[in-house]
Structure 1
Amino acid sequence: MFTRTESFKEFLRFYPIVSIIITIHIVLYFISVLPFFPNLWLYENFAGVNLYIVEGQYWRLITPIFMHSDFPHMLFNSFSLVLFGPALEQMIGKWKFIFVYLISGIAANVATLVLEPLTYIHVGSSGAIFGLFGFYAAATKIRKDLISKGNSQIILTIMVIGLIMTFLQPNINVTAHLFGLLTGFLLGLALLSKKGKLLK
């Protein structure tokens, strides 16, 4: 389920939404570091800045989902999406996957707006990725026919480790992680139907 054996071309064909999101991550990062590009322009105009959001720049509830602070940040989140995104895109389809990913990310950013100070600035797709973990967690509870017992244990273990690291690592948007996870879980409870086959 989480082991990738596809070729690059097969990955693009089988998981178009995951591929597009990762491409956006990479493109935005490399645009931001181009030597002739205005310094910090992307961050100044599209990062999540609570003060600017309350002043009416509501696109900042969405755009931070696709932006990252540095190369390791972008690489880690993109790699996480490569590992955990394909199975869910296959399980629920591309349109529901887009919905879960974006709503989880937006909810994480709204929670950040409400609970963090106006001076708080944030970027990253972690809230949306934790939303995927939350959706998987819901599936392990109410749709045991969709995910094998072994994969359920893997998902829950990784989710617990991710939560622990959320509180141990510096410069982490704890609010986004927690509310992304909660939103994904609630979406899983709401969207999972009674039909489906076991993903191994």
Structure 2
Amino acid sequence: MFIRTERSIKEFIQLYPVVSVIVIIHLLLFVIIDILSLQIGNLIYQWGVGNNFYINQGEYWRLLTSIFLHAGLSHTLFNSLALILFGPALEQMLGKFKFVAAYVLAGLAGNLGTYIIEPTMFDTIYVGASGAIYGLFGIYIYMMLFQKHLIDSQNARIVVIILVIGLVMTFLRPGINIAAHIFGFIGGFALGPLILSNAKAFSVWRNQRSDNSASTAQFDPNRWQKKRTNKKIMKRILWTAFVILVVLGIVGRFL
């Protein structure tokens, strides 16, 4: 589920278009706002950030737009990498429409929690996809508890480990929107019964292109050895990505 087997970025985009589009939006907004510092970028940021004072004045769109904005490079990369790791499996299992609904609603739940808990002041602002991503974790946890046929024990352990580390970092790192993380997770968990109805377990075989048909398949006496070798390589890639996420989180503390 969380080990990427795609052969290229192009194939990843074809298989997981929703995750890809969201990540592209993250990166484009970062380039426009933080690197190019364009006037339009400044306007997007000013009109898009979560701000409890303005939301209280009726600018409710900020509860949605702030999900796609981030505070700097480390924040952008951290959330984008987390989405690349944990989003594709759910996009395949749920389908594009349900995945978009789950992602957006979990992000809204995180921002609504922030709006309710944090003071309604002019300087209370927040950005980031963390609430939506924690919502994905909420769906996985619901899956582990009530839809166990959708996730195996190995992948379940990965979810638990990453979630625990993420929660620890949530309370240890300064400047973290704790309410968004917690309420995003709760929102995702609450969506579980509805969003997982008729869901099918993730399968790499469903990602095979139609041109890789059985007619072209050939017997390979070393296929099992190759499979074990590939599995070891993918595990290393997964743990490398995990280390990158942790390092980005630590570095972000000092940026």
- Asked whether the two chains share a fold, i.e. TM above 0.5, the reply is yes
Distance 1:190 1:80 in 2: 24
Q: Per the alignment, do residues 198 and 89 of structure 1 end up closer, same or farther by CA in structure 2, a change over 3 Å counting?
A: closer
1:17 aligns with 2:18: yes
Give the structure 1 partner of residue 196 of structure 2: 192
Give the structure 1 partner of residue 68 of structure 2: 66
Deviation at 1:188, TM superposition (A): 1.0
Deviation at 1:39, TM superposition (A): 7.2
Distance 1:115 1:41 in 2: 27
Distance 1:28 1:50 in 2: 22
Q: Which TM-score applies when normalising by structure 2? A: 0.75
Distance 1:199 1:142 in 2: 20
SS at match of 1:139: helix
Deviation at 1:118, TM superposition (A): 1.4
The amino acid that maps onto 2:139 is: F
Distance 2:96 2:199 in 1: 17
Give the structure 2 partner of residue 163 of structure 1: 167
Q: Per the alignment, do residues 197 and 25 of structure 1 end up closer, same or farther by CA in structure 2, a change over 3 Å counting?
A: closer
1:172 aligns with 2:176: yes
The amino acid that maps onto 1:10 is: E
**Unmatched runs of 5 consecutive residues or more in structure 2:** 205-255
Give the structure 2 partner of residue 85 of structure 1: 87
Give the structure 2 partner of residue 149 of structure 1: 153
Q: 2:42 aligns with which of 16, 40, 59?
A: 40
- Work out the number of aligned pairs and report it: 200
Using the aligned pairs only, state the percent identity: 49
Distance 2:41 2:160 in 1: 41
Deviation at 1:190, TM superposition (A): 2.9
Give the structure 2 partner of residue 26 of structure 1: 27
Give the structure 1 partner of residue 104 of structure 2: 102
Kindly provide the CA deviation profile for residues 93-151 of structure 1, in whole angstroms up to 9, marking residues without a partner as x.
Answer: 11110010000001111111111011210000000000000000000111111111111
1:3 aligns with 2:7: no
Q: 1:57 aligns with which of 48, 59, 67?
A: 59
Deviation at 1:80, TM superposition (A): 0.5
Q: Which TM-score applies when normalising by structure 1? A: 0.95
The amino acid that maps onto 1:12 is: I
Deviation at 1:44, TM superposition (A): 1.4
**Unmatched runs of 5 consecutive residues or more in structure 1:** none
SS at match of 1:117: coil
Distance 1:11 1:113 in 2: 35
Checking the alignment, whether the CA contact within 8 Å between 2:68 and 2:128 is kept in structure 1 is: yes
Give the structure 1 partner of residue 232 of structure 2: none
Q: Which has the larger Rg?
A: 2
